[in-house]
Amino acid sequence: MKLIYLSSSFQTKRVKQKTSLAKIRITLSLKAMKLIDTHAHLNLKSSYKKEELPEIIARAKEAGVEKIINVGIDIKTSIRALELAKEYEGLFATAGIHPHEVKKIDEETYPLLKALLADSKMVAVGEIGLDYAKEYSPRKLQQEHFLRQLALAKELGLPVVIHSRAASPDIIDLLVTELPEKFVFHCYAGDVAEARKILDLGGFISVTGIITFPKGENIREVVRYVPLDHLMAETDCPFLTPVPFRGKRNEPAFVRYVVEKIAEVKKISFEKCAEATTRCAEEFFGI
């Protein structure tokens, strides 16, 4: 019997070849995987300089994020979101008046809002809702304009992106009064009981980098409960940067870490989770 001994240089070469093949597979997997950041604020000029955006969007594409929805919080940021959607492929926009900003609404606001929402790149009304945690606008005014914008969404046949902070009972009551065809609670921060009520109304849940935080167990519990076909991922950038980038400015590329954590919590593969959350977002927003 003839023994053949492989040289150390040959063995090293084989290891390098296997490593290279593994890297190629990972690269191909990244390119094949489609992700969507369903809630971003690249339209906030105070957080993102215009000259930075090409690189930020390129990094998102490299991470597999093919679509980004920039969300308006007032007329100015809604216009900017639409400008970005027209400038960059794969970007979309929403328009709405955030509860913090409703105190600034005047007679020109709703005609402008309706005109913006008529554009094909506009995929939802939002973000709108109630915020009793900070209450920068009076509660009654928040409720009035939440209802009015819900009615506008129904009139235009658009989904709704909801902002809810310390106001869940009132939000649910007002939704029942003026129930839109589709709505999502963005940056969900409630518990399972609240999530159950939202799902019972036909709503959707979207989670942020909070799911990766050590103190984010309440969100992880919600993610275990909510079915994948009613669950989306977002960054809410520049806020709520996920682990392992805490302390840095958030950006759409980091939505990957949110999806990875959802997959871990639900004990499914990243690929299955990415496919499901992306499909959910595409069907919800019609993109």
Give the model's pLDDT for residue 57.
Answer: 98
* Confidence band, pLDDT 50/70/90 cuts, at residue 6: very low
Q: Are 180 and 151 within 8 A, CB to CB?
A: no
Mean pLDDT to the nearest integer, 160-173: 97
Distance CA 234, CA 284 (A): 14
Give the model's pLDDT for residue 123.
Answer: 98
Give the model's pLDDT for residue 23.
Answer: 41
Residue 196 has pLDDT above 90, yes or no: yes
Give the model's pLDDT for residue 33.
Answer: 80
| Torsion of the alpha carbons at 153, 158, 163 and 168, rounded to the nearest 10 | 70
Mean pLDDT to the nearest integer, 250-275: 98
Distance CA 156, CA 1 (A): 81
Predicted confidence (pLDDT) per residue in 117-154, tens digit? 999 999 999 999 999 999 999 999 999 999 999 999 99
Tell me which H or E stretch contains 94.
strand 91-95
Predicted confidence (pLDDT) per residue in 18-44, tens digit? 434 344 344 434 555 899 999 999 999
Give the model's pLDDT for residue 32.
Answer: 59
* Confidence band, pLDDT 50/70/90 cuts, at residue 207: very high
Tell me which H or E stretch contains 5.
none
* Confidence band, pLDDT 50/70/90 cuts, at residue 187: very high
Cα–Cα distances in angstroms (integers) from residue 204 to residues 54, 88, 137, in the given order: 31, 27, 26
Provide the token pair at 74: 């007032």
Mean pLDDT to the nearest integer, 59-63: 97
Give the model's pLDDT for residue 4.
Answer: 42
Q: Which range, of 7-21, 254-268, 270-284, averages the lowest pLDDT?
A: 7-21
Distance CA 144, CA 139 (A): 9
Distance CA 259, CA 208 (A): 9
